[in-house]
Chains A and B, each alone.
Chain A
Amino acid sequence: MKLNKKITLMVGLLVMAFVAVACEPQVVEVEKEVQVTVEVEKIVEVEKEVEVEKIVEVEVEKEVEVEKIVEVEKIVEVAVPVIVDDPNRTLDIIAVQHAECSWDAFWCTVQDGINQGALDNNVNVTILAPDEFDIDKTASLIEQAVAAQPDAIMLTVTDPTVFADPINAALDLGIPVVAYNAGSGPNEDGIGYLTYLGQDEYAGGYLGGQRLAAEGGTLGVCVNHAPGAVNVARRCAGFEQAMTEAGIAYEELVTNDDPAESSTIIGDYYAANPDADIFITMGPNSAVPFYAFLDNEGLAPGDVKHGTFDNSPEITANIENGTTMFGIDQQPFLQGYGGVTALSLAARYGILPAAPVTATGPGFITVDTLGDPAGADAPMSIIAVQHAECAWDAFWCVVQNGATTAAERMNIDLQILAPDSFDIDATGSLIEQAVAAQPDAIMLTVTDATAFAGPIQAALDAGIPVVAYNAGAGPTVDGIDYLTYLGQDEYAGGYQGGQRLAALGGTKGVCINHAPGATSTSLRCSGFEQAMSEAGLAYEELVTNDDPAESATIIGDYYAANPDADIFITMGPNSAVPFYAFVDNEGLTTDDFIHGTFDLSPEISANIQSGATQFGIDQQPFLQGYGAVQALNLLHRHGVVPALPVTSTGPGFVTVDNLTVVQALAGEFR
C-alpha cells in the first residue's frame, strides 16, 4: 500500500506539474470591443445602389442563384442566440478552424484579425485547429468546444455535411455561431448560424468591372483558368453584369493552369479580337500568363486595362508600374476580426448580422493602397458629423452610444458634431470645419448628397477617409467617392422578410405601402415581391396612406375582393396599425393571415408578443455608429477596406424569440 501511494504520488506530481504548465492561462484579452461591418448579400446590394431601375436587371440574375438555393434546401431559420448576463464582462469565444498559422501561413493573417478583434472587443479567444488538415478532427473539435459552453463560437464550415450536427449542438444551446473563411451562408449550408464572413465573389467581379469600365472600352474579357469552379463563375458573372451596364461587349476566355499555353491562348484570342481592351484575370494563374502575353505582343501599360483577383509578387509589381489597376483581396484579417465583432455584438446586445453572407472582400489593392497602415497602436482621431443628436432626438442616442462604445474600446479620440436643430446647411458647414481639424478620419450622415458633395470631396481631397452612416445611399448612388454607407438594406429587408413569411406557407403576398413615392418603401416591396415569386406565390402591392382609418378601410376592401391574400408585410407603424385595425374589424384570427412589418412600435411589439406579427425589422442604429468607427479603425490602423458600397446594419429581425431582449436594451443599444 505504501508503494501504491508512492507511485500514485510520483505519477500524480509529474502529471500535475506539466498540466499546470500547460494550463497557464494564455489569455488574449484586452480592452476594446468592436463592431461589425455587416454587408449584404451579393447582388442585391450591389445593384441596388446603382439605381432603382437596375434592380430589375440585377434581380434577374440573383433569381438564378437564389432559385438554386431554394431548390436545394429551404431557407434556414437563423437560431436566435441567448445574450449574456452582463454585456460589460469579458466574453469567452472559441474559434475552430480547419487550419492554423503554424502550418499554413494564410491563417496567420486570419488569426491576427481574431486576436486584434479580441483586443478591441474585450473578448478572450481560444483558437482550436487540427495538427493537419482533418475534417473529422475539426468536427470533433467543434463538439468539444460546445462542451466548454463558451459565450460564442466562430468556425469554418469546411464541410457542411460533416459539421451540421456539431454546429446544431451549439445552436441548440443558444450559443451564437458565425462562420468565417469557409462556408456559403446559413441558407446554402442548411445550418442556422448567424452569418458567413468571406469574399463576395459576384460583387468582386461586378465592382472590379465597374472600375475597369469607368473610362470606357469596347470589349471586356474574363480570363478564366478554372472554368469549373463555382466561385470563379460568380466572378465572371459579376464582371459581365458591369460590362453590360456600361454598354461594353463581354466574352469569357477559358485558359488553363499551364502558363505558356495560357499566354498563347490569350495571344491567339487577341489576334482574332483586337478590339478587346478590358481584361480581368482570376488570380496569379491567369494574371501571370496575361503578363507574358503583354510582353509577347509588346503592349505597354495603358494599351489595355487590366484588373485581377488575388495578389502575388508579380501582381504587386504590375500594380506599381501601372499595368494592373487593382488586385482583389478577400481580406482574411477582416474574416477573423469581423467574426469576433459579430459574435460580441450578438452575445452582448442581441444585434445580429443583417445578411446571411457578410462580405469581407472584395478589398481593392491599388497603387494608392500599397503603403503600410498606421499599425494597431497608432493614435487615432475621428470626427463624426451628423444631422441630429441625442440631446434633441432620442433615436440618435443609440447611434452615438454605438460610436462612443467603439471609440472607447478601440482607444480612439472621437468627437461628435451636430447642429442644434435639423439644419442641412449648418451640417454641411460642420463637415467643412471637421476637415479643417484634419482628423485621421471622418464619419458623417449624407443627409443631402447634393449639398454635402462639396464638403465631403474636400475631406477626400485632403486625404481623409470618409464613411457614411444612417443617412446616405452609398458612394455609387450618392455620386461621392466615400468608402461605404452603413445603414439598412431595404431590399434585403423585404426579401428576407418575404422568405420568412413564405416559409410559413400561404397563397398570395401583399406589400401594404403607405408611402408609395419613397425609394426605401419601393425597395422593400421589390425585395418582398422577389421572395414571393421565388416561393411561387402571387404578389400584389396595396397602396394606403397616412390616415389610419382610411387605410384600414382600403385594406378591408382589398381583402373583400381578394380573400386569398394571406401574407402581409407593412412598411412601419403607419401601415401596421391600420392593418391591426383591419384584422379587428374582420374578426380575423392569427390562423387567417401571416404578417411581418418594418420598424417597431408599442403596437407592433404587442402583436409580436401575441403571435399576430412574425417580426419587426430593425435597422440596428447601434451598429451604424459602432460599425462606422470600426470601419475607419480597420482602414487606418490595419489597411482593411470596406468590401461593398453599402454595408448593411439591418434588417435586424425582432421576433417573439428576442423581443424581450430588444425591449430591455431599447434606448441604449436597440
Chain B
Amino acid sequence: MASATSPSNFQKARARLANYSEVVVLISFVLLFLIFTLTADNFLSLLSITNILTIASIKGIFVIGVAMLMISGEFDLSVGSTLAVGAYVFAILMEHGFVMGGSQILPAGLGFLALIISLIICGLLGLVNGLIVVRSGIPSFIATLGTMLAFRGIARAMGNSELAKTSGNADVVRFTGEAPPLFNVLNGDINFINDLGTPAGGARMAIVWFFLVVLVAVIVMRYTRYGSWVYATGGSRVAALAQGVRTDRIIIWNFIVTGALAGLAGVVQFASRPAIDPARGEGWELIAVAACVIGGIWLQGGYGTIIGAAIGMLLLQMVEQGLILAGVDIQLFQATIGLILIVAVISNTWLSRT
C-alpha cells in the first residue's frame, strides 16, 4: 500500500505543479540568485540589481509580445529588425523631422508624435507578418525569418538614406540636441531609487514601462476573453475555430502588438543611448524565444504565462551580470544560457508529462 501511495502523491504533486508553468523558472531564478549572492562580489549591490532590471526591461518589453505570440502558437523572428526600424523612425523624426522633395513636411523634435508614428509603423510591420502567416499559411517561423531579413534591409536603407542625412559616420543616426523631457519619461534615471546606495544605482524608466507592459498583458491574458482566445488558438486551433474563436484575427493582432512593442523597446532604448546603427537588435529575436521557453511557454503554443516569460528574461540578464561579477570570461555566457535553456525545457517537459 505504501509503495502505491507514494507514486500517486508524486503524480498528484506533479499534476498540481503542472498548473503553474512558471514553477521551473521561478525555482531556477531563486537558486541562481542565491548562488550568485554567495559567489559573485557586489552581486547584491544596488547597482548590480538595478542594472539587471534596466537592461532586462528593454528586451523584456518585446519579450512579452513574443510570449503572447508563442502562446497563440506562432513565432516572430523579426522583432529585432522591427526594433531597429522603430528606433530609426523615431531617431530620424527627432533629429531631422520628415523631409520630402526638399520641403520639410514634419519639423524635428516632434517628441510624442514621433513616438506614436514609430509605434504605428512597427505595428504595421507586425500586420504584414500576421497577414503573410494567416493568408499564405506559411509557418510563422519561415515567414518571419523572411521578414527578419526584409525589415533589417529596411533599417539599413534608412540608415543610408537621404532622410537620415548623416555625413561621415555613415548609417548611424544620433540625436544631437538637448534631450527633451520625453526622453526622461521614456528611459530617464529613476533617481530616488538610484540614490539609495553607493555606488548609485542604474535604474531607468525602462523598468516602469516593462512593468506596465507585463501588468497589462497579464490582465489581458488572464481576465479577458481575448486572453482565453489566445490560449485556445495555441492549444488546438481546430477546437478553437469550432468554438467560434476567430483565430486568424487573434494571430494578426498578436503580431501587431508584438511589432508595436518591439518599436517601443527600440524607442525606449534610443531615449537613453541616442544613437542608432543598422545592426541594432540583431540576435535579440532568439533571446526572446529563449526567455519564453525558459519561462515555461511551449513551443507548440497553448501553454505558459506572461509572468514566466518575464522571469525568464530577468533570469537571462541576471546570469550575464552574475557571471561578469564572478569574473568569468565572456565566451562562457552563451554556453551557460544554452545549458539553462536545455535544463529548463527538460524540467518543463517532465513536469507537464502527466
Contact = CB atoms under 8 A, between A and B. Distances in A.
A469 B40 CA distance: 44
Contacts of B282: 132, 134
Contacts of B27: 7-8, 11-12
Interface stretch (A157-165, A418-426, A644-652, A662-670): A157-165
Interface string B251-294: 00000000000000000010011110101111100000000000
Given A3-B10, A136-B280, 4 more contacts: A3-B13, A12-B27, A147-B321, A172-B199
A529 interface: no
A169 interface: yes
B47 interface: yes
A545 to B, nearest CB: 51
Interface residues of B, number: 59
A161 B202 contact: no
A228 B166 CA distance: 13
A164 to B, nearest CB: 9
B330 interface: yes
Chain B at the A interface: mostly helix, strand, loop or mixed? helix
Given A23-B39, A129-B330, A144-B321, A11 B347 contact: yes
A415 interface: no
A658 interface: no
B208 interface: no
Contact of A22 (B10, B199, B328): B328
A141 interface: yes
Given A12-B31, A127-B329, A141 B273 contact: no
Contacts of A143: 51, 54-55, 202
A126 interface: yes
Contact of B277 (A135, A141, A169): A135
A161 B275 contact: yes
For the complex of A and B, 6 pairs with smallest distance between CB atoms = A3-B13, A161-B275, A147-B48, A162-B273, A147-B47, A12-B31
Which interface residue of B51, B168, B324, B332 has the most chain A CB atoms within 10 A? B324
Contacts of B326: 23
Nearest to B273: A162
B254 to A, nearest CB: 26
A627 B198 CA distance: 36
A145 B324 contact: yes
A173 B194 CA distance: 14
B55 A128 contact: no
Interface stretch (B126-134, B217-225, B227-235, B335-343): B335-343
A623 to B, nearest CB: 29
Interface residues of A, number: 51
20 contacts: A3-B9, A7-B347, A14-B343, A15-B340, A18-B339, A23-B323, A126-B324, A127-B329, A128-B324, A128-B330, A135-B277, A135-B279, A141-B324, A143-B51, A144-B321, A147-B202, A147-B321, A148-B327, A165-B273, A173-B199
B5 interface: no
Interface in A102-140: 102, 124, 126-129, 131-136, 139-140
B165 interface: no
A22 B42 contact: no
A298 interface: no
Contact of A16 (B31, B202, B328): B31
A4 B12 CA distance: 12
Interface string A441-481: 00000000000000000000000000000000000000000
A189 interface: no
A162 B275 contact: yes
Contacts of A131: 283, 333-334
Contact of A26 (B283, B320, B329): B329
